[in-house]
A and B are shown apart, each in its own frame.
Chain A
């Protein structure tokens, strides 16, 4: 199984800040990395698929990228509605696996 290490596990930031969340797989692959946003009591939502493709509802302050073996989710100019838990997920090989999550909290 591919293990995904997400960092940090939690993050305090202020409205307007830029934040970066990293997802490091236990074995290298390209493209097949997805990001989800999850707010308490709500259904998780697909945010970014195939490394860098934004879902239609996602504002342009969100972006996804890859560098070396790592994948990154970046949010520029945080907005109040962005405070949530974010998960990466690999769809490169079965069984599909998720990172441990990053809880983004208001400072």
Chain B
């Protein structure tokens, strides 16, 4: 199971930081790819990026300059950092596991992050 956590409110120009806690499995075994996806209110799902241990993270070009996804095996979690946020980054953020074929399973329930002063 996956569970997102982090601040629900971030100020414009600051950094959004979220963590995904993985339970019932190891971050470095089994599911190989760890992913972040978001959904702004009233809009579709947007793939943010993914990483896997021993490889190079892979980001959506539209966000690449602002995104970092990394993992912490000691905590069995992985994280998302998005810098210089604006109101356009307000969304429900989901973490998900996945495979090399690019499917996403399982997902966390999502966490709403609002960017506002």
Contacts and interface: CB of A to CB of B under 8 A. Distances in A.
Interface of A: 32, 34, 36, 41-46, 49-50, 55, 87, 89, 91-92, 94-101
Chain B contact residues: helix, strand, loop or mixed: loop
Interface residues of B, number: 20
Nearest to B48: A95
B108 interface: yes
B105 A97 contact: no
A98 B61 CA distance: 15
Interface hub of B62, B102, B108, B109 (most chain A Cβ within 10 A)? B102
The 8 residue pairs across chains A and B that have the minimum distance between CB atoms = A91-B102, A46-B105, A98-B45, A43-B107, A95-B60, A96-B47, A43-B109, A100-B44
B44 A101 contact: yes
Interface in B52-70: 58, 60-62
A83 B43 CA distance: 20
